[in-house]
Amino acid sequence: MGTPHVALLTQGLACTLFLVVMQMGETVRTAYQLLVDMTVISYFVPFLYLFATAWKHGQR
């Protein structure tokens, strides 16, 4: 009842449309490589937050 289902559905739709538009006219190999690159970047973002927070608070 208290879940943000509308926000989740909207984000899923936006991501799907973004991926479809981005891959139009690309080969399957290029599209796969693009998805792998985007996955690596999305895994790297939490580490940026982690190190930025540690730097802000002066911990090593």
Q: Domain-by-domain residue ranges, the chain? A: 5-57
Ranges of the chain with pLDDT below 70: 1, 59-60
pLDDT value of position 9? 92
Q: Are 20 and 14 a contacting pair, CB within 8 Å?
A: no
Rounded distance, CA 27 to CA 60, Å?
A: 44
The position carrying tokens 């991926």 is 19
The amino acid at 17: L
SS percent in the chain: helix, strand, coil, step 5? 80, 0, 20
Q: How many H helices and E strands in the chain?
A: 2, 0
pLDDT at 1: 65
